Amino acid sequence: MLGGVLKKILLVLLVVVIYQNWGKVERLFNPGEAVSQATRTQAKVVFYTTAWCGYCQSTRRFLDHKGIPYQEFDIDKDAQARQAYQALGGGGIPILDVNGTLIRGYEPDAILKALP
């Protein structure tokens, strides 16, 4: 009986880990959909986020899926990141700085357009 409970717990943990890293998992199966290597090396993406934001999670999955590197700053956990976020006007999350272009919210098309 204890073995069955342990198996269920491990299955739930596996599902959670896969869900949290879905962009990376999906990229393994669809490598052709990632942006070009030149774009990945030239992209400068700064991502202001929180752990509880659903749009932030969607944005993270999108960036991971496309293979776009980014620096992520949690404005709830990092005072300097919060100040930088507020200097950009704050007002909602996520905020991305993609090569100097500010993008507010989950906007995949805008992110791709701002890439080199």
Summarize pLDDT for 34-82 with one digit per residue, the tens: 555 655 556 789 999 999 999 999 999 999 988 899 999 999 999 999 9
State residue 21's pLDDT score. 67
What is the rounded average pLDDT for all residues in the chain? 83
Instruction: Find how far residue 4's CA is from the centre of its chain.
Output: 35
Residue 47 Rama label (left phi>0; alpha psi -120 to 50; beta): beta
Is-above-0.75 flag for pTM?
no
Mean pLDDT of 109-116: 90
Q: Which two tokens stand for residue 24?
A: 């990376």
Question: Residues near 42 by Cβ (< 8 Å), separated by ≥ 6?
Answer: 99, 115, 116
CATH code reported for the domain at 2-114: 3.40.30.10
State residue 93's pLDDT score. 93
Backbone angles phi, psi at 101, to 5 degrees: -100, 125
State residue 78's pLDDT score. 93
Q: Which two tokens stand for residue 102?
A: 């500010």
Summarize pLDDT for 90-103 with one digit per residue, the tens: 889 999 999 899 99
Q: What is the distance between the alpha carbons of residues 63 and 89, in angstroms, rounded to a whole number?
A: 23
Q: What is the distance between the alpha carbons of residues 29 and 31, in angstroms, rounded to a whole number?
A: 6
Q: How confident is the model at residue 1 (pLDDT cuts 50, 70, 90)?
A: low
pLDDT at 85 over 60: yes
State residue 43's pLDDT score. 73
Residue 91 Rama label (left phi>0; alpha psi -120 to 50; beta): left
- The alpha carbons of the chain give a radius of gyration, in whole angstroms, of 17
